Amino acid sequence: MRLLPLFVLAGSLLLCRTAVAGWEDDGATDAPATGRTGIQRKIPAPSSTSARPSAATGTIPADIYSQFLDAPVDPVYWASLAYVGPTQFGGDESASMVELDGFWRLAVYRDVLLGDVDLNLSLHSVIFAGSAGQDVLPAMLVALPLDAGWRWRFVDGASFEVRAKPGIYADPAAAGLGMFGLPLSVAWYRTVSPDLSIMAGVELRPGWDQFAMPLIGAAWEPNDALRLELALPRSRGFVYLGPVTLLGAIEWRNTTFAMSGGGNEPDSLTMNDVLLSGGVRVAAGDQLTLGAELGVFLDRTMTAEGEAGEGDIDLSNAMFLRLSVGGPL
């Protein structure tokens, strides 16, 4: 029964849609350019007045179009379910895991104190099928934050963003203020050309095992058939073949979850891993995207901290299969 709330939330992510306000039209002359989705992406000619991107029409000036901030890469809402094969937790005993993830773009507000605000809801949960002989292993770990960002864009192609992800990062049994976390990030983006953008920043996570996570990289889309994101903590590649997209990814994940503490249970548990995956995504109509990925977890550790001190558990590498369903790009 403890899985029911997560599946209800995942279903909600798919049923809900977001209404996004458009940016103001500045009267610039538009030069249409067809994107990979078959929908025209308009790139206005240079103007002395400030043009603003429109989520509805795709009207974005070429000199500020950002591959990180503007390119339609992921669905506006999606949910995924991953099965992770048997994993040894520092000994001979093993346990399988299930990961349930989701994302929902709630809203975008334009021209808020010269910037733009976006609100999103995300879910990452790990469900353990067994204890693998470990007293510290909970039944479930959940990260459920509200992901809110405030972004300022400048006519020279630079952008500055501040984000906060307040929410629950805990074993659901760990009731109390300790289950709430507040990761904060600052990032700088620069449009080198309409096809290439770069990023540099850092995410700060007070109270977590790893306080700072680097945000650095480049996104390059030379044509409608290819996209590359070389970055930390996640790098991805996409090959677009009409309604079918081939994709690959390597991602470093590090999250600290609060535990109830007391007895043999630690105060916190940190999951650290690197995942390597490849798969396919299919646009099954204008409003539905289906996906499947096969991959492997590498360099996995679990760090427990509490009154008795700190200890690491090395997890064996394991294969995983992820299925996903989402909305439109």
Residue type for position 177: L
Rounded to whole angstroms, how far apart are CA atoms 114 and 105? Answer: 21
In this structure, are residues 107 and 77 in contact, taking their beta carbons and an 8 Å threshold?
Answer: no
**pLDDT under 70 in the chain at which residues?**
1-59, 262-263, 308
| Residue 20 within any structural domain of the chain | no
Query: Encoding tokens for residue 307?
Result: 């009154």
pLDDT of residue 59: 60
pLDDT of residue 265: 79
| Residue 30 within any structural domain of the chain | no
Q: What digits encode the pLDDT tens for the residues 18-62?
A: 333 333 333 333 333 334 433 333 333 333 333 333 333 346 788
**Long-range contacts of residues 58-63, Cβ cutoff 8 Å, at least 24 apart:** 59/23, 59/25, 59/30, 61/28, 62/194, 63/155, 63/157, 63/191, 63/194
pLDDT of residue 184: 98
**Structural domain total, the chain:** 1
Q: What does 70-122 look like in DSSP terms, one character per residue?
A: TS--S-SEEEEEEEEEEEEBSSS-EEEEEEEEEEEEEEEEEEETTEEEEEEEE
- 241 burial level (CB within 10 Å; 0-12, 13-18, 19+): exposed
| Residue 210 within any structural domain of the chain | yes
| Residue 29 within any structural domain of the chain | no
- Which pTM value belongs to this model? 0.81
Q: Which domain holds residue 236?
A: 63-326
| Residue 47 within any structural domain of the chain | no
Indicate the helix (H) or strand (E) that contains 218: strand 212-223
Q: What does 245-306 look like in DSSP terms, one character per residue?
A: EEEEEEEEEEEEEE---STT--SEEEEEEEEEEEEEEEE-SSS-EEEEEEEEEEEEEEEEEE
pLDDT of residue 138: 87
| Residue 95 within any structural domain of the chain | yes
| Residue 10 within any structural domain of the chain | no
pLDDT of residue 178: 87
pLDDT of residue 216: 98
- 194 burial level (CB within 10 Å; 0-12, 13-18, 19+): buried
| Residue 42 within any structural domain of the chain | no
